[in-house]
Chains A and B, each alone.
Chain A
Amino acid sequence: MGGLRAAMRHTRVAILAISAPVHAVLSRRADRNCRPWTRRFAPLTLLVMAPLADGCAASEGDVDGANRSGASVSGATTLEGSLHVLVAASLLPVAEVLAGDFEALHPGVDVLIAGAGSSALREQVLAGAPADVFIPADPSHLQVVRQEVGISGEPAVVARNSLALAVPAGNDARVTSLADLARPELLIGLCAAEVPCGTYARAGLSRAGIEPVPDTDEPNARALVTKLAAGELDAAVVYASDASTVAGIESLGWGTGSAPEAVYEAAVLAGAPNIGAAEAFVDFLDSAAARDALASHGFGAP
């Protein structure tokens, strides 16, 4: 159902130019989608497609169980079109790799990754950004989206991360522990309290009894790592994935007690324009290949 809607949305544009392949695609999709007669009367569907597509979507839009069964066979069928994936800024480096791997498996799909602070992405989704998959660094953002926009199926944990104290290569300021974050003479960076890396960091620091004196509250994890790697900060609390993989910074771990943990949950958004590819992508994130890529970028297994 969703797949048909997505296919139609994409083909609607190209219909006049390439009507023959469109017939083929439609008839293949009709096997598992919506209404069987669309296959038999493929030429007709071209004429009446728009209204039917909408009706189809409206009548069977939100049945999670049915969506899941569609996803299970999606590996065997041809997925296509563009897939918009919104990822937490900390996932950005590995997301590009995962997108490439997924595109290699499904040559017809063009994965478009948008990375930003999870809360900024959440606002984009709430404002109606046409996205398919949302992977914030804090499940609470997914909960808000689930309540206000809706998601298809259940969110799946795809990766874990922790936070670490990090310094620029060389550690000129001789930072040794979290306690140094309270030294006013050092240049200290944190993520803003509104984004997950800032929320996690502050919670962890307050548990450790440390009152940091930041010189900047960066709007997302990547911006913070960039400033740290440029040597423009003496120390920062960043994701362990970044601390261990980004050139130019060194991880000092967390030190005292257990480090704050970040959980990445992926979900297909209810109004996903390309729901078939979206479900396949979320399934792919659970594959061995995806887990290897995540692990090599410093993320923990779900």
Chain B
Amino acid sequence: MTGTTTSTSAPESPRRSARRLARDLPPWPVALLAGIGVVLFALPLVGLVARAPWTGLWTHLSSRFVVDAAVLSVVSSIAAAAVAALVGVPLAWVLARVSFPGRSAIRALVTLPMVLPPVVGGAALLFALGRRGVVGGPLHDATGLLLPYSIWGVILANAFVATPLVILTVEGALRNLDRRYEHAAATLGASRLRVLWRVTLPMIGPALGVAVVVAWARALGEFGATVTFAGSLGGRTQTLPLAVFVALESNRDAAVAISLVLVALSLGLLIALSDRWWPSR
């Protein structure tokens, strides 16, 4: 349709020189500070591993309240990641493609949960969607539906904090997308929805995958919004992070065992993903 005059200044040469620089040894202050950074992040893991009750690990992990919490965590975090993708991708598309007044404000609004203390987010959800909430009140009166103290509340709280990660990642991918492919498809007669489905989404597929997995990991680790909005009850709303928090005060070995599982899971995931973020080739 439109005669695309995208000025694609060949990205090869700067990228190549950047690659050459990356092979160089870092200046010593950089190496020192980077080393301190590594220690900073590695130290807590060392503490956790040192504290771990290795002999009774399985006993702790197979106890009733841990299994309940694990099942709830897996189910609710996957559901939250699905919600995050379902809401986040369209939002990202609108933010990346549609120019409208107040776009920056909308972007700030939908990414706010990333920087907001989760407890504040949970309290806000409670005041909005609780039984006496602005929206939750009429909803409860009309349908009897009650989000807090249920798995729906957990999923909502998790999705609330996880969706911004999808929005930011996918919006970035959409902005970096070479739009000529979409234009070509449109020129060939594809409808907008078809372009989105057959061209755009497949092209941002890797970024979308990363976004969803990161959102899932964030949901899996969510604590503050969940406990504030959905409460904490074993078998119903007590996810793994909540179980860790409670167990830390009564059964520290179990808490450390759960923490190890969460760390192993998240670390494995991030290592698996790092190739997608930073292609080594």
Contacts and interface: CB of A to CB of B under 8 A. Distances in A.
Interface of A: 117, 119-120, 122-123, 187, 189, 192-195, 214-219, 223, 226-227, 230-232
Nearest to B228: A223
Interface in B128-143: 130-132
Residue among B127, B234, B238, B246 having the largest count of chain A Cβ atoms under 10 Å: B246
B249 A122 contact: yes
Given A117-B249, A192-B246, A232-B148, A216 B131 contact: no
B250 interface: yes
A123 B132 contact: no
Contact of A219 (B146, B232, B234, B236): B232
13 contacts: A117-B249, A119-B250, A120-B249, A214-B233, A215-B233, A215-B236, A216-B231, A216-B237, A217-B233, A217-B234, A218-B231, A219-B232, A219-B246
Contacts of A122: 249
Contact of B130 (A215, A218, A230): A230
Contacts of A227: 126, 231
Contacts of A218: 227, 231-232
Contacts of A189: 231
Nearest to B149: A215
B233 A219 contact: no
A190 to B, nearest CB: 10
Contacts of A216: 149, 231-233, 237
Interface string B231-261: 1111011100000011011100000000000
A216 B131 CA distance: 15
Give the top 5 A-B pairs by smallest Cβ distance, nearest first. A216-B231, A119-B249, A231-B132, A215-B149, A194-B250
Interface residues of B, number: 23
Given A119-B250, A193-B250, A215-B149, 19 more contacts: A123-B248, A123-B249, A187-B149, A192-B232, A194-B249, A195-B249, A215-B231, A215-B236, A216-B231, A216-B233, A217-B232, A218-B227, A218-B231, A219-B232, A219-B245, A227-B231, A230-B126, A231-B131, A231-B132
B260 to A, nearest CB: 18
Nearest to A231: B132
B213 to A, nearest CB: 29
Contacts of A192: 232, 246
Nearest to A122: B249
Interface of B: 123, 126-127, 130-132, 146, 148-149, 227-228, 231-234, 236-238, 245-246, 248-250
Contacts of B127: 230
Nearest to B150: A215
Nearest to B249: A119
A294 B57 CA distance: 45
B246 A194 contact: yes
Contacts of A214: 233
Nearest to A126: B252
B99 to A, nearest CB: 40
A232 B237 contact: no
A276 B233 CA distance: 43
Residue among B148, B231, B245 having the largest count of chain A Cβ atoms under 10 Å: B231
B67 to A, nearest CB: 18
A129 to B, nearest CB: 14
A223 B233 contact: no
Residue among A194, A214, A217, A232 having the largest count of chain B Cβ atoms under 10 Å: A232
A100 B127 CA distance: 31
Contacts of B248: 120, 123
A122 B130 CA distance: 32
Contacts of A226: 123
A230 B245 CA distance: 24
Contacts of B250: 119, 193-194
A215 B232 CA distance: 8
A275 to B, nearest CB: 27
Contacts of A119: 249-250
Nearest to B127: A230
A286 B149 CA distance: 41
Residue among A117, A195, A227 having the largest count of chain B Cβ atoms under 10 Å: A227
B50 to A, nearest CB: 14
B132 A232 contact: yes
Contacts of B228: 223
Contacts of B233: 214-217
Nearest to B252: A123
Nearest to B136: A232
Nearest to B146: A187
A206 B18 CA distance: 69
A168 to B, nearest CB: 8
A231 B79 CA distance: 28
Contacts of A231: 130-132
